């Protein structure tokens, strides 16, 4: 079994394809959509968690690549600079999934990447700017 959060970036000309349908129907994957930004004739963006058999997942990725879709694994998208972090905790009430949370009683901030859905709210909520989006990120910034 594999469970992987990914971001798919759709070039404008494939935005209208039923990608999710194929992932479920042809590759037997479970799809959990986390965020989506799909517009006709514009680049689209879909964040989701895929789970299923390893072989199915690999075949699905190959198929996606053939469709000219760009696949980015989610964990690598947001980084936490421990050096910049002052452990105030301002981010912990803004992070919607609890990926950024307070470790008690140590009162230090920790970042659990596997819970991050790249909403990017923390980037500007952190006064010390300890959260960074990597260059090749989901919003294409």
Query: Tokens 């002052």 correspond to what residue?
Result: 86
Contacts of 92 (CB under 8 A, 6+ apart): 98, 100, 101, 102, 109
Cβ closest to another protein, residue 38 vs residue 93: 93
Nearest Cα neighbor of 78 from 30, 2, 7, 3 is 7
Number of residues this chain uses to bind another protein (CB under 8 A) = 19
Q: Which is nearer to another protein, 30 or 94 (CB)?
A: 94
> Who contacts 3 (Cβ-Cβ below 8 Å, separation ≥6)?
49, 50, 51
Window of 20-28, 52-60, 84-92, 132-140 that interacts with another protein by CB under 8 A: 84-92
- Count other Cβ atoms within 10 Å, centred on residue 95: 21
| CB nearer to another protein: pick between 59 and 110 | 110
Residue among 119 and 125 whose Cβ is closer to another protein: 125
Using CB under 8 A as the binding rule, whether residue 141 contacts another protein is answered as no
Alpha carbon distance, N-terminus to C-terminus of the chain: 32
Q: Assign 4 to helix, strand or coil.
A: strand
Q: Tell me the closest approach of the beta carbon of residue 109 to another protein, in angstroms.
A: 8
Among 3, 13, 124, 141, binds another protein (CB under 8 A): 124
Q: Does 129 bind another protein (CB under 8 A)?
A: yes
Question: Closest approach of Cβ 128 to another protein, in Å?
Answer: 6
Residues in the site for another protein, rule: CB under 8 A? 86-94, 102, 104, 106-108, 124-125, 127-129
């Amino acid at each position: 079994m594999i469970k992987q959060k990914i971001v798919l970036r759709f070039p404008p000309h494939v935005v209208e394809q039923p990608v999710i349908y194929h992932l479920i129907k042809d590759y037997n994957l479970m799809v959990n959509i986390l965020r989506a930004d799909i517009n006709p004739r514009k680049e689209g963006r879909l964040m989701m968690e895929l789970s299923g058999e390893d072989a199915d997942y690999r075949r699905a990725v190959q198929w996606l690549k053939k469709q000219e879709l760009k696949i980015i694994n989610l964990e690598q998208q947001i980084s936490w600079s421990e050096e910049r972090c002052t452990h105030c905790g301002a981010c912990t009430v803004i992070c919607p999934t609890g990926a950024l949370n307070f470790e008690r009683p140590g009162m230090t901030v920790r970042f659990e990447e596997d819970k991050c859905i790249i909403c990017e709210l923390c980037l500007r909520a952190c006064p010390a700017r300890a959260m960074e989006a990597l260059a090749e990120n989901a919003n294409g910034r």
